[in-house]
Amino acid sequence: MALILINLMEYNMNHINKYLMILFLSAITFGNLDAKVKVVATLPNFASIAKELGGDKVDVTVIAKGYQDPHFVDPKPSFIVKMRKADILIWAGLDLEVGWLPPLLENSRNSKILWGAPGNVDASRGVPLLEVPNIPAAQLRAGGDIHIYGNPHYWMDPYNAKIIAENITDAFIEASPSDKDYFKNRKNDFITKLEAKIIKWEELMKPYAGRKIIAYHNSWPYLEARFGFEIAGFIEPKPGIPPSPRHLVKLIKQIRNDEIRVIIVSPYFNAKPANVISDKIGGRVVKMAPSVGAFDEVQDYFDLFDYNLKNLKEAFKWEDSID
Ligand SMILES: [Zn+2]
């Protein structure tokens, strides 16, 4: 009996060993055939686009949450661990992450994604920028401004996502050349889907061209330029500078002169000034997502525009109803 058991065990062990050997040989023969490209995105907007483009050939993690201010993210050691394993890093550039990304990246010591490496994707490359100042960056920075190379919230124009998609796809192909056709097809599908959505979004906003609104921070010039509304004033006197009572008094005067009623707010800014102004002018405060993940309803890059433009349209319709 014992002998039979031992024989059986030997048989099983041999069987298992053969199986392991086959696995081992396949790993050697086919290399990283099943290995996914590991992507770290600083912001959820890029993570969402990267997932659309990479499908099941990529593994995407993200650093900042959509309800956090992308200018000021708390750098945690766990982010360094994510970066250490990454093949690709996608970031916004234009100094948007200057306060938190450089120490994380340098501590990751990952040569694949360090500055200038092929896996380091500055998503802004080739994007036509808005609000590029003609004042030296150092001078602006000294004055507390945080948009010193032009407005860095460029993903808010869906046309720019086509350029972002090119930048990301180039890096995917570089990281995994055998999947070139897969990535190119997915990029074309993404752009086709995006273009169809853009036509719908433009139609949605067409009746409200030239409509004036107030915002807290200047996250919106790209959305504004694309969809034809106008942000006539900001609760922040300068990007990154909190409002003073004097600034608010001036702003309320302007709002009354221009007969503005809609004030947009985002999750990470103090909503109090917007509510105070809204009460004074009989206006309406409208929630807008500056990023994917800002609210539960905004799960991906397409939701970002579905959500924001629907909210704006409802606010403008309300405005029409009270005139
Ligand atoms: Zn900003």
DSSP per residue, 237-274: SBTTBPPPHHHHHHHHHHHHHHT--EEEE-TTS--HHH
Q: Each residue of 83-100: pLDDT tens digit?
A: 999 999 999 999 999 999
Q: What is the pLDDT of residue 21?
A: 53
| Count of the separate structural domains present in the chain | 2
Residues 120 and 214 in one domain: no
CATH number at residue 316: 3.40.50.1980
In angstroms, what is the span from residue 19 Cα to ligand 1's centroid?
A: 55
109 vs 8 pLDDT, higher one: 109
Report CA(151)–ligand 1 centroid distance (Å): 7
* Shared-domain flag, residues 94 and 222: no
Name the more confident of 323 and 297.
297
The pLDDT tens digits for 193-203 are 999 999 999 99
| Containing structural domain, residue 230 | 203-322
Rounded to the nearest angstrom, the distance between the alpha carbon of 44 and the centre of ligand 1 is: 15
Q: Is residue 88 part of a domain?
A: yes
Residue 148 Cα distances to 95, 163, 234, 292, 323, angstroms: 8, 22, 17, 24, 39
> Do 87 and 208 fall within a single domain?
no
> Do 71 and 164 have their domain in common?
yes
Domain C-terminal end among 172, 200, 228: 200
Question: What's the CA-to-centroid distance between 129 and ligand 1, angstroms?
Answer: 13
Ligand 1 centre to CA of 119 (Å) is 25
Give residue 29's pLDDT. 46
112 part of a folded domain: yes
Does the residue 24 lie in any domain? no
Count CB neighbours of 55 within 10 A: 15
Claim to verify: residue 283 and residue 181 sit in the same structural domain:
no
Q: What are phi and psi of 43, to 5 degrees?
A: -125, 150
77 C-alpha to ligand 1 centroid (Å): 25
Residues 48 and 183 in one domain: yes
Query: CA nearest 311: which of 280, 274, 285, 291?
Result: 285
Residue pLDDT, tens place only, 129-169 = 999 999 888 898 888 888 889 999 999 999 999 999 999 99
Distance 148 CA to ligand 1 centre (A): 10
Chosen domain end from 167, 200, 233: 200
Residue 64's pLDDT band, with cuts at 50, 70 and 90, is very high
Q: Is residue 28 part of a domain?
A: no
Distance from Cα 122 to the centre of ligand 1, integer Å: 17
Is the pLDDT assigned to residue 290 strictly greater than 70? yes
Among 21-30, 126-135, 265-274, the range of highest mean pLDDT: 126-135
3-state secondary structure 29-93: HHCCCCCCEEEEECCHHHHHHHHHHHHHHEEEEECCCCCCCCCCCCCCHHHHHHHHCCCEEEECC
The alpha carbon of 125 and the centre of ligand 1 are apart by a number of angstroms equal to: 18
The answer to whether position 176 is within a domain reads: yes
Which helix (H) or strand (E) segment holds residue 8: the answer is helix 2-30
Those residues with Cβ within 8 angstroms of residue 199's Cβ, 6 or more apart along the chain or in another chain: none
Centre of ligand 1 from the C-alpha of residue 83, in Å: 24
116 and 91 together in one domain = yes
Task: Please answer whether residues 304 and 200 qualify as being in contact, where contact means their C-beta atoms are separated by less than 8 angstroms.
Answer: no
* C-alpha distances out from residue 255 to 214, 252, 308, Å: 8, 5, 22
Residue 11, domain member (yes or no): no
| Residue 275 Cα to ligand 1 middle (Å) | 21
How far apart are the CA of 295 and the centre of ligand 1, in A?
18
Distance (Å) from CA 152 to ligand 1 centroid: 6
Residues 54 and 186 reside in one and the same domain: yes
Residue 265 in this model has a pLDDT that exceeds 80: yes
Residues 122 and 192 placed together within one structural domain of the fold: yes
Cα(218) to centroid(ligand 1), Å: 6
Distance between CA atoms of residues 319 and 323, nearest Å? 7
Distance CA 104, CA 151 (A): 23
CA distances from 42 to 68, 125, 312 (A): 12, 16, 27
Kindly give the distance from the C-alpha atom of residue 172 to the centroid of ligand 1, in angstroms, as a whole number: 28
164 CA from centroid of ligand 1 (Å): 18
Does the residue 9 lie in any domain?
no
* Final residue belonging to a domain, choices 185, 200, 215: 200
Same domain as 109, residue 149: yes
Residues 139 and 284 both lie in one domain: no
17 belongs to a structural domain = no
CA 249–ligand 1 middle distance (angstroms): 23
88/193 same-domain check:
yes
How far away, in angstroms, is 147 Cα from ligand 1 center?
6
